[in-house]
Structure 1
């Protein structure tokens, strides 16, 4: 049934491209930016409620945020696509045992936050707004699209004063996302051209502008780059390239953890990196 729905959606879009291109633009944009985020389940909420929960406004919508602890080391956790703050449960529990203040938020259209769409620009701008809300963060740990958004923010906002960051399983090029949808839905060239035009209209840039390699050229803080060789969602080649582009970086390639990159050992690697005195890795 799922395959049939996908095929029919592609056929519908390809027809719209000729009979009503303006509608195809809007429908395509909304679909590409819809994370189809999973619901927050009762056991997720039980854990999230152990935090100090608060909300902040972003583009006239409420964004759900969290705080654990009151330690001297302030760290921000940034989740990925179709995820939410619960994905960090294990590492939060470990950090709570140490001298950390832990911040996190559910991206727009994710978790307990309002909204229906998310793209890289929205995520970056929301991240900027959250950093203004809490004023000071020493470290950031980001997964998947959250890592891409963090790189964009570090590139675009020179006022961000983060000492070190961990970027896990991040994609490298927004253009790949469009190739994925083109192949998934069997979209023709006209459909893709119209949808890309709509993205240019909404975001101000063509997809090719959103490149982790380009964003990261001026990143100077120490970065721990983590990717799994068996990641089926994002290609580890992008992270390997970043390790060459970001001078002050350390590369950690795992095996068997997939895109989620969850393990007790890896959590301790991340925490130890954060706790180290600031070092130069090149």
Structure 2
């Protein structure tokens, strides 16, 4: 019964949004966007607690949220780590081991509504606002980001081309926000009027239409060195998304794998990341 209810709920939301959009499109847009951005997973589990607690740095106020930061100290360059959707800093444990062996100074944080950080929702502009706080404060030389974290750091550099970050690594990251919205519409089965209202809200609040929010656009004038990883069998984000970003990012390198999945925690991937960061 629980599975039946869970399967039916998106359709209930979709029908509600369709009705709401006929009388109040602006409210339908807000409700639809809030549902889309609400985080349901990614808090710290008992398994993760000891590892993360040992590296806690501070709870930092960023906007309306209190963001948990972490540090694994080292004497070399500073690396900022950014996790993906419904995850937290624990996802970097394997890479952190490799970075520590090379004595990098490692900074990470739980995104709003994730891990130990406060909040209920996340979207790229909010994640970018949080990221900008940490880049400004800790001045990282390099950034390594997974999934939506990758789109976020590319959006941040589109907004702040003067950033001192020298290299960016993305892992399994999306390119087109349009793809997310299309999937969301197919799941809830809301109509074109709801989608149009959401598009208008995005334009008014963030300055972009849905189709304009694109990592390919964000990297078109990016002068940073980039390394993009993506698995051909990624079930969450198609590998063609990273191909599109690579095609628009002069100076980037694309590594396609097969069978490593979306998370890509494997030693071979982590070794390549560290080698890229150490290159001149």
TM range, normalised to the smaller chain? Answer: over 0.9
**Contact map agreement 1:199 1:207 (CA 8 A) in 2:** yes
Output one character per residue of 1:23-65: Cα deviation in whole Å (capped at 9) or x when no partner. Answer: 3222112111113233210121111112142122111321111
TM superposition shift of 1:90: 0.9
**What is residue 36 of structure 1 aligned with on the other side?**
40
Deviation at 1:199, TM superposition (A): 2.3
SS in 2 for 1:109: coil
Q: Which residue of 1 aligns with 2:220?
A: 217
Could you tell me which of 27, 32, 42 is aligned with 1:23?
A: 27
Match of 1:89 in 2: 93
CA contact (8 A) 1:76 1:104 kept: yes
Unaligned runs of 5+ in 2: none
For the residues of structure 1 that align with 2:214 and 2:43, how far apart are their CA atoms? 30
The answer to whether 1:13 aligns with 2:51 is: no
For residue 217 of structure 1, give the secondary structure of its aligned residue in structure 2.
coil
Q: Is the 8 A contact 1:128 1:153 kept in 2?
A: yes
Q: Please give the root-mean-square deviation of Cα atoms over the aligned residues, in Å.
A: 1.4
1:79 maps to which residue?
A: 83
1:230 counterpart residue number: 233
Structure 2 counterpart of 1:4 = 8
Deviations 1:65-122 (A, max 9, x none): 1110232221010111111111101111222222111001111111111112211111
Task: State the number of aligned residues.
Answer: 276
Give the alignment's TM-score, normalised by structure 1.
0.93
Deviation, 1:133, is: 2.0
Structure 2: how far apart are the matches of 1:201 and 1:138? 34
What is the distance in 1 between the residues matched to 2:158 and 2:25? Answer: 34
Alignment of 1:187-198 (within 5 A): 187-198=190-201
Are the structure 2 counterparts of residues 20 and 245 from structure 1 closer, same or farther at C-alpha, using a change threshold of 3 Å?
A: closer
Give the gaps of 5 or more residues in structure 1: 278-282
In structure 2, relative to structure 1, the CA distance for the partners of 1:72 and 1:201 (3 Å cut) is same
Using the alignment, how far apart are the partners of 1:56 and 1:132 within structure 2?
Answer: 13
Aligned counterparts of 1:243 and 1:274: Cα–Cα separation in 2: 18
Question: What is the match of residue 120 of structure 1?
Answer: 124
